[in-house]
């Protein structure tokens, strides 16, 4: 029978953990011991002793949504007087303010609006690149598949057109738990597990980097958390396209699941540490100060996390569930130093950037490069602050200086 000591020996030897190993750790009660193992893996990946963060803004272009997820407090049904669909100029103004404050990207997401087909997204992306250029870390697997449905177009074509119009990378939103039993309970009208993964697979195939996420602490079991991690690890083995893994806990207030007990800090730290130990092919693991608060996020830096996420100039989705936790740059850097690390600003690719977003140090990804021999294509803002490119004339990768 496998013991914690057996798993610790495998971690020290650099061996891959099995699903059974991860499940044993999920039930293990010695939290500091799990944290020490996760911290060892973090040190191997990031021996420089830095913890990164990004300055960006979450822009939710619409809150109108037909998916009606039970865990979401943000959406409004079509026709609801509280529903909105931001005009382009409002979005441009938000981006201009973001850049003035040192922001290097926007996280652009919204509801599954019944009128948002491919032409609407093309106009949005091209308008941003022409009027308020910035890195667009945008949409989610489920939004992209909704666009396919509205436009009656196949996924590869939709992604090619989005990329040609200016989409630079894709967040891991909508991942929740990649187990259909869970998804049928909390979001029965939303994308199921395999289609979510297929969007990420196709995005990576087309040269778009993405992140992976997990929202836990609701109706899933420990076994289902591990299955989610396995699905992410397996796809990363195949494509090497994920730049980071971000997990956070379900926030119940103002949702249809508001009577569901919320999990606490012990479970968050243990799950975060196990994710670092099990998903051994993703470099960066992000703490969730938005749901946990800065103090707990700072503690998680001793549990395998190497990134503190975003100094978000704006956030609307999680805050709709009474979870208000935006941070100033000084607070973020103070928390990082208090944990014994040096703060470093980054972009989506984990390149180091200065206060204006200019490139200081390029972070190469050997696994991604090996699977993309034509070059590691990165958008303009990874190279030179203050310059920009218009929307791409086609979706083919462009060569970037090393």
> Helices in 63-140 by DSSP H: which ranges?
88-100, 118-131
At residue 360's C-alpha, the angle toward residues 356 and 365, to 5°, is 120
- C-alpha 373/C-alpha 376 separation (Å) is 8
Of 402, 396, 399, 387, nearest in space to 133 by CA: 387
At residue 101's C-alpha, the angle toward residues 97 and 103, to 5°, is 90
Which positions ≥6 away from 9 have C-beta within 8 Å? none
Q: What is the pLDDT of residue 379?
A: 56
User: Tokens 């740059």 label which residue?
Assistant: 329
Q: What is the pLDDT of residue 328?
A: 83
CATH, domain 45-379, list 2.60.40.10, 1.10.540.10, 3.40.190.10, 3.20.20.70: 3.20.20.70
Classified as helix, coil or strand, 354 is coil
Structure tokens at 219: 């109706």
Q: What is the pLDDT of residue 378?
A: 63
At residue 168's C-alpha, the angle toward residues 326 and 320, to 5°, is 30
What are the structural domain ranges in the chain?
A: 45-379
pLDDT in tens, 142-171: 999 999 999 999 999 999 999 999 999 999
pTM reported for the whole predicted model: 0.89
- C-alpha 300/C-alpha 195 separation (Å) is 31
User: Tokens 């996390």 label which residue?
Assistant: 305
- C-alpha 273/C-alpha 270 separation (Å) is 5
Report residues of the chain scoring pLDDT below 70. Answer: 314-327, 374-402
Per-residue burial over 281-302, b = 16 or more CB atoms within 10 Å of its CB, e = otherwise: ebbbbbbbbbbbebebbbbbbb
Count of C-beta atoms within a 10 Å radius of residue 205: 15
């Amino acid at each position: 029978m496998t013991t914690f000591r057996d798993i610790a020996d495998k971690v020290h030897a650099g061996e891959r953990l099995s699903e059974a190993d991860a499940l044993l750790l999920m039930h293990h009660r010695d939290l500091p011991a799990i944290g020490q193992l996760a911290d060892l893996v973090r040190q191997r990946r990031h021996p420089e002793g830095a913890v990164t963060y990004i300055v960006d803004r979450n822009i939710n272009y619409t809150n109108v949504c037909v998916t009606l997820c039970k865990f979401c407090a943000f959406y409004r049904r079509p026709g609801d007087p509280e529903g909105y669909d931001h005009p382009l100029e409002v979005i441009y103004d938000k981006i201009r303010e973001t850049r003035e404050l040192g922001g290097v990207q926007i996280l652009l997401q919204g509801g599954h609006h019944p009128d948002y087909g491919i032409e609407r997204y093309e106009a949005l992306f091209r308008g941003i690149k022409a009027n308020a250029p910035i890195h667009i870390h945008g949409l989610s697997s489920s939004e992209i598949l909704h666009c396919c449905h509205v436009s009656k177009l196949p996924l590869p074509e939709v992604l090619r057109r989005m990329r040609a119009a200016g989409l630079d990378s894709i967040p891991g939103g909508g991942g929740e738990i990649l187990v259909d039993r869970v998804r049928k309970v909390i979001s029965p009208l939303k994308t199921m597990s395999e289609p979510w993964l297929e969007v990420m697979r196709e995005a990576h195939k087309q040269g778009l980097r993405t992140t992976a996420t997990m929202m836990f602490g609701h109706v899933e079991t420990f076994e289902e958390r591990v299955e989610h991690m396995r699905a992410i690890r397996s796809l990363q083995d195949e494509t090497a396209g994920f730049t980071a893994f971000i997990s956070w806990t379900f926030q119940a207030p103002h949702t249809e699941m508001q009577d569901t007990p919320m999990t606490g800090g012990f479970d968050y730290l243990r799950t975060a540490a196990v994710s670092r130990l099990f998903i051994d092919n993703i470099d960066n693991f992000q703490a969730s100060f938005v749901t946990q608060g800065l103090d707990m996020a700072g503690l998680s830096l001793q549990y395998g996390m190497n990134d503190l996420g975003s100094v978000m100039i704006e956030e609307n989705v999680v805050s709709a569930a009474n979870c208000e936790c935006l941070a100033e740059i000084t607070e973020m850097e103070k928390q990082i130093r208090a944990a014994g690390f040096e703060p470093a600003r980054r972009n989506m690719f984990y390149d180091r950037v200065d206060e204006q977003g200019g490139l200081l140090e390029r972070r190469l990804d050997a696994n991604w490069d090996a699977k993309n021999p034509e070059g590691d294509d990165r958008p303009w803002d990874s190279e030179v602050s203050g310059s920009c490119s218009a929307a791409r004339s086609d979706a083919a990768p462009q060569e970037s200086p090393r």
